[in-house]
Amino acid sequence: MSPAPHPRAGEVMTGAEMIVQVLVDEGVDTVFGYSGGAILPIYDAVFCHNEATGGSMPLIVPANEQGAAFMAAGYARASGRVGVALVTSGPGATNTVTPVRDSMADSVPIVVICGQVPTSAIGTDAFQEAPVPSIMGAVAKHVFLVTDPTRLEATVRTAFEIARTGRPGPVVLDIPKDVQNWRGAFSGSGHLPIPGYRQRLNRVAANKLSESACASLLAALERAERPLIYAGGGVINAGASEALRGLVHELRIPVVTTLMGIGAIDTSDAMAMRMLGMHGAAYANYAVEDCDLLLAIGARFDDRVAGNPTKFAANAKFIAQFDIDVSEVNKVKRVHWSHLGALPEALTALREGARRAGFRRDWSAWHRHCDLLRRTHAMNYDRQSERIQPHYLLEQINRLTHGEAIISTGVGQHQMWAAQYFDFRSPRLWLTSGSMGTMGFGLPAAIGAQFAVRDRMVIDVDGDASIRMNIGELETVTTYGLPVKVVVINNCGDGMVKQWQKLFFKGRLSASDKSLHKKDFVKAAIADGFEFAVRLESKAEVPRVVEEFIRFPGPAFLEVVVDPDAGVYPMVGPGQSYDEMITGDFIASRKPVEVVPPDESEMF
């Protein structure tokens, strides 16, 4: 039975109106963007749509286009739906390059719609013209330059299809102004013919975990004494967290997660060993060293985790990998077994296969070993210091949020402390720039997340250096009356860079110390409309002020002056192995480790 025709099929529309109608059909309920000449027809169509529908698709205006695309990314990360940014040509489009690359690196589905000069002017260096396909082609999942208006409607639908399917990612639509103004009949259906892409998707979707493959993996698990699951962001992107949790509880295998995989399993779960990697928990990294079987699920052995690939999980006699992207299998670390397919179905099939086979394995000795690792090498810091330690601050916030808040971060030390000291009961509560490490991500991403999930507390944990990058978005918070909480951990500079300079460059703080900068963050927040804007400098005041900050019913801003010498530990230098991990003064290490600078080719 063929589907009913679209209620507006056959209606004559402008190209701009067609774009807006497709956005509606795709379920878009919020658009983030900044206007300009080459995008005005679409902005007018959005205005008219909202006027006719009572504002069903609000257009959120940021301070700049980078903020718009990061808001779209925050919306997508928090909701799992495609985020949409709408910007003008030239600088409007180029300002979104960083968030597009950021979304590509972390597999985040967004669609960026850029205005473009008229088709007749393309290539003439017209006013506000930029070669968007050339620029974005290197950083996006796909780019469309629409020059045939009859294909516009199908192209927009296809952009959403590509963004959300397979390994998600950003898609850019470059739409000349004359195509936006073109008039034609709206068909209400249809996609572009992209047979190669769909064939690859269909092959992956059809590739179910076979009984023989399941039996092979279960046989390896039967031989294992110390199995460990290594879960990455692919678990969350695939909506496979529930399936992972079911598998973990069925087989009783401990789990470490990557930075992007935080929340895939409840951090308070008995099987959770928290984050591994460069700044992962010492006990998580030691568990990786000790395991004899490693099961990688939606994780890609990136350099911040694997460090020195040949020494990563060196005692594992068997490594298995589940992924949806064939390019990730055997890219960094050779594996003994792999499955390419949809993660929820594959993990469910493994769980059911284990049940059918009556799989039972007593790993209680391994569980006791992991518990001992947690106790012996627990996270810790200078609890006796008279200065505010950032770890203490985050513990106090976590005490009130109970692992239920959405935490967005900038990039730097504060990002790692947040990953280490916050609890996360569910997926999509942790929003951070992982692969790109983009400073300025935290605040706009938090704004996008609050629009996506209106009834959940959203906190931007930022650094004094990172928030400067997009501090203009403070006004966006108050303009739209969002109850976003912004906490700035002020350690007077680029804390992570300073930590590296102290460790590896003999303490030469080249261009990273901002103690002489004049920024008054509280006055800036007040100027942007924050009624709660407080600077906290006393350790004794932390519990009281933090509770006032969290309980405040509207937008709230808190600057906390912390110990500028506080470091992020543990730390595994780039290109180094876990047995070279530096645990600092307050976390127990297995053995004394000499601080040796990484090879110059690996630095940073």
Q: Which residues are catalytic?
A: 65, 127-128, 177, 496
- Count each helix (H run) and each strand (E run) in the chain, helices first: 24, 20
**Contacts of the segment 584-590: beta carbons below 8 A, 24+ positions apart:** 585/382, 586/380, 586/381, 586/382, 586/383, 587/282, 587/377, 587/378, 587/379, 587/380, 588/282, 588/376, 588/377, 588/378, 589/282, 589/377, 590/286, 590/377
Cα–Cα distance, 433 to 410 (Å, whole number): 7
Sheet architecture: strand order including 171-176:
59-60, 31-34, 83-87, 110-116, 171-176, 142-145
Element spanning 86, H or E = strand 83-87
Cα–Cα distance, 261 to 230 (Å, whole number): 9
Q: Is the peptide bond before 570 cis (omega within 30 degrees of 0)?
A: yes
Nearest to 296 by CA among 325, 322, 269, 318: 322
Query: What six digits make up the tokens of 142?
Result: 């796909």
Element spanning 110, H or E = strand 110-116
| Residue with the two structure tokens 């796909």 | 142
Find the farthest-apart pair of alpha carbons in the chain and give their distance in angstroms, rounded.
74
Nearest to 133 by CA among 181, 180, 171: 171
Do 232 and 260 meet the contact criterion of CB atoms below 8 Å apart?
yes
Query: What six digits make up the tokens of 490?
Result: 């002020």
Element spanning 338, H or E = strand 337-340
Sign of CA dihedral 492, 493, 494, 499: negative
